[in-house]
Homo-oligomer: A and B are copies of this chain.
């Protein structure tokens, strides 16, 4: 894979996606080379045109000679599942381009696991040498927000139809977004949505929850991605955000924070597997059986077990 073999990359990604036993060895092997690649997250509600935005961005970046990885992550429910995979068909224009690597990922098992697998896939793509990595997710539920934390710059794509929903977006959306893109901007309601977002972005920049590592008021852009309108301006803002991060050291600080979060979630995930193993092996003791038969409350039992779980310094 490190010599540019795309098939090898695809196979490693499959291992990571399936959380195979080889994952730790794989990630150890690529670690030293996995720090490159600028990661752009693209999220928003179903039907906002995220895939088209990703497609157009990819075309722009390729025209400049940069290599691009695209990861479409679908953590969605059975009710909306499959949309991302369907949209992938539109990315076929890049399917034969050796400078583009496209991969879809869907929920397998726990959602926490999905965010972690996605993080590992991003590292594989970076180690493969891709210069830009675009992650696309549907919606901005908690899982999507967790996945977006993997991005250096996050674009939230909205459409005039999402207007009502904006009422309720509040902190989560503002915290996730580095750039707002109002797509399908030729539709009624677009100017009102843009005005609303600009006002919210302005308030957010002044608020206590705004990240203070860089001076950044979330720009609000309009686009008609289907007609290739507004994509240049989006790329300009992505580069401006990247430059702002890199100029201040915030880029490095955020990557450190990301590694910390990743490490903590890895520890928790490993512990979850240990609990499953111990439960299967009957190693949780008598308290455990009493919880299952309902005679002991789980909090008392957990507190009895937890003293052995204290993390100790090396």
For A175, the closest partner residue in chain B by CB is B78
Query: Which one of B75, B170, B271, B298 contacts A78 once the chains associate, using CB atoms below 8 Å?
Result: B170
Is there an interface contact between B165 and A302, defined as CB atoms closer than 8 Å? no
| Residue A5 at the chain B interface, CB threshold 8 Å | no
| Residue A259 at the chain B interface, CB threshold 8 Å | yes
Query: Which residues of chain B come closer than 8 Å to A170, judged between CB atoms?
Result: 78, 81
- Complex CA–CA separation, A278 to B75 (angstroms): 30
For A301, the closest partner residue in chain B by CB is B263
| Residue A63 at the chain B interface, CB threshold 8 Å | no
- Complex CA–CA separation, A267 to B78 (angstroms): 28
Q: What range describes how many residues of A lie at the interface?
A: 35 or more
Q: A79-B45, A297-B31 are in contact. Are A284 and B302 (CB under 8 A)?
A: no
| Residue A306 at the chain B interface, CB threshold 8 Å | yes
Is there an interface contact between B284 and A140, defined as CB atoms closer than 8 Å? no
Which of A21-29, A92-100, A181-189, A217-225 makes up part of the contact surface? A21-29
Query: Which residues of chain B come closer than 8 Å to A312, judged between CB atoms?
Result: 283, 308
Within 8 A of B (CB), among A257-314: 259-260, 262-264, 266-268, 270-272, 274-276, 278-279, 283-288, 291-294, 296-306, 308-314
Which of A104-112, A202-210, A228-236 makes up part of the contact surface? A104-112
Query: Which residues of chain B come closer than 8 Å to A306, judged between CB atoms?
Result: 267, 270-271, 274
- Complex CA–CA separation, A79 to B173 (angstroms): 9
- Complex CA–CA separation, A192 to B134 (angstroms): 40
Is there an interface contact between A311 and B169, defined as CB atoms closer than 8 Å? no
Is there an interface contact between B294 and A311, defined as CB atoms closer than 8 Å? no
Query: Which one of B77, B143, B292, B309 contacts A274 once the chains associate, using CB atoms below 8 Å?
Result: B309
Query: Which residues of chain B come closer than 8 Å to A78, judged between CB atoms?
Result: 140, 165, 168-170, 172-173
- Complex CA–CA separation, A296 to B314 (angstroms): 15
Q: A45-B79, A141-B141, A312-B283 are in contact. Are A298 and B266 (CB under 8 A)?
A: yes
Is there an interface contact between B297 and A28, defined as CB atoms closer than 8 Å? yes
Query: Which residues of chain B come closer than 8 Å to A76, judged between CB atoms?
Result: 141
Shortest Cβ-Cβ A-B pairs, 9 listed: A31-B297, A77-B141, A285-B314, A24-B299, A278-B311, A82-B168, A78-B169, A285-B313, A81-B168
Q: Could you write out 28 A-B pairs with CB less than 8 Å apart?
A: A27-B298, A31-B296, A45-B79, A76-B141, A77-B139, A78-B169, A78-B170, A79-B168, A79-B169, A110-B142, A111-B111, A111-B141, A256-B292, A256-B293, A256-B294, A259-B291, A259-B298, A262-B298, A263-B292, A263-B302, A267-B305, A268-B271, A270-B309, A271-B306, A283-B313, A285-B313, A308-B312, A309-B311
